């Protein structure tokens, strides 16, 4: 099987292509102009194009389904070369603002949520992705192709930056080597030029890998999928907690290098009558004491077959206010894509069942 052209850093591609300046030209076509074939690369000589076609794969995935929400979010289902599928989401965080004279005052702000694996080993009981089990890790090129395909599909200009969250299907730190390289390729100035400060890895809490990631000192942001304040409930929600309990995760987070302007995000999926009470809020405050933390409360997004329920808005607000009054920064994540298959794994499940 051919190796993906998206697997390479610019320096690695310079080693592959001679003269080396051709690598920069190819990078420009891939990441500035979103070329989908080598034929499109007009300033690349014919013999090099033939070499590229013979030795490298440029089409790693295709969009097989997408759903567009009324809030501007777009959920993508990508089909990979081996026929497997993964999801990604383009989130419109802020809409374009146009002045009375027709000029653009502020452009759109986007966040893209991308997948790390086909399936997942973690087995969270609230997550639809877990139903299918783990199949395989995504390659470096498959990480990169998710962003390239979404930018191309939405005509997002090459100089328009966006935020990346590794929060889709799979556990990024369970695909550690490929994830680290993807971070580096995304941040290549001659490529997509997505600053590492704009990249956030969300992990279910593999504490040993959190520590290892901290030692890499990449400058990316860290988000912890906490969801519970005691090991009993967390082990119910995230069975992997039996191996990496809350104490080990918090210890690893305390050692993680945090940008002075940033905080560690703690994601707290709020489930009705499970973890939405003020007693849990009080425990959360004590747990995060001394950490530069921000808590992001997330409404559980129900899907067919789950026994968990979406919390009441009043309980979410009460929980948030309790934390804020006691000095802990807390936001409620605005739910996006409620009218589409927004929950991770929903669109894949729907396609597999033949639903339109």
CA atoms within 13 A of residue 53's CA, in its CB half-sphere: 13
Active site residue 113: no
3-state helix, strand, coil in the chain (%, to 5): 35, 20, 40
Q: Comparing C-alpha atoms, which of 25, 19, 195 is closest to residue 5?
A: 25
Active site residue 344: yes
Catalytic residue among 67, 87, 142, 171: 87
Neighbouring-strand partners of residue 294: 265, 329
Cβ–Cβ < 8 Å for 92, 110 = yes
**Measured between alpha carbons, how far apart are the two ends of the chain, in Å?**
33
- Residue 109: how many CB atoms within 10 A of its CB? 15
Catalytic residue among 120, 127, 344, 349: 344
Cβ–Cβ < 8 Å for 188, 27 = yes
Q: Comparing C-alpha atoms, which of 37, 42, 138, 128 is closest to residue 85?
A: 138
As annotated, the active-site residues are 87, 344
């Amino acid at each position: 099987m051919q190796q993906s052209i998206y697997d390479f850093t610019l320096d690695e591609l310079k080693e592959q292509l001679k003269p080396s300046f051709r690598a920069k030209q190819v990078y420009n076509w891939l990441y500035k102009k979103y070329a989908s074939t080598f034929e499109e690369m007009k300033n690349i000589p014919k013999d090099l194009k033939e070499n590229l076609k013979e030795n490298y794969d440029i089409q790693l995935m295709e969009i097989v389904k997408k759903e567009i929400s009324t809030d501007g979010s777009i959920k993508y289902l990508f089909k990979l070369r081996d026929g497997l599928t993964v999801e990604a989401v383009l989130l419109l965080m802020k809409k374009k603002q146009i002045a009375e004279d027709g000029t653009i005052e502020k452009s759109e702000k986007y966040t893209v949520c991308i997948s790390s694996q086909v399936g997942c080993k973690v087995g969270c009981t609230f997550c639809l992705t877990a139903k299918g089990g783990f199949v395989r890790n995504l390659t470096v090129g498959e990480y990169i192709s998710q962003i390239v395909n979404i930018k191309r599909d939405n005509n997002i200009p090459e100089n328009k930056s966006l935020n990346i969250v590794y929060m889709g299907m799979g556990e990024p730190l369970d695909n550690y080597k490929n994830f680290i390289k993807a971070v580096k390729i995304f941040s290549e100035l001659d490529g997509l030029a997505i600053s590492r400060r704009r990249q956030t890895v969300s992990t279910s809490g593999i504490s040993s890998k959190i520590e290892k990631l901290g030692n890499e000192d990449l400058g990316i942001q860290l988000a912890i999928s906490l969801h519970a304040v005691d090991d009993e409930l967390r082990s119910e929600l995230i069975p992997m907690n039996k191996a990496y309990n809350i104490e080990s995760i918090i210890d690893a987070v305390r050692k993680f290098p945090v940008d002075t302007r940033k905080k560690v995000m703690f994601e707290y999926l709020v489930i009705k009558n499970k973890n939405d009470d003020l007693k849990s809020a009080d425990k959360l405050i004590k747990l995060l004491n001394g950490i530069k933390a921000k808590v992001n409360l997330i409404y559980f997004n129900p899907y067919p077959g789950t026994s968990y329920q979406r919390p009441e808005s009043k309980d979410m607000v009460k929980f948030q206010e309790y934390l804020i009054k006691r000095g802990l920064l807390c936001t409620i994540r605005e739910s996006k894509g409620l009218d589409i298959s927004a929950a991770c794994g929903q669109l894949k499940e729907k396609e597999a069942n033949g639903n339109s």
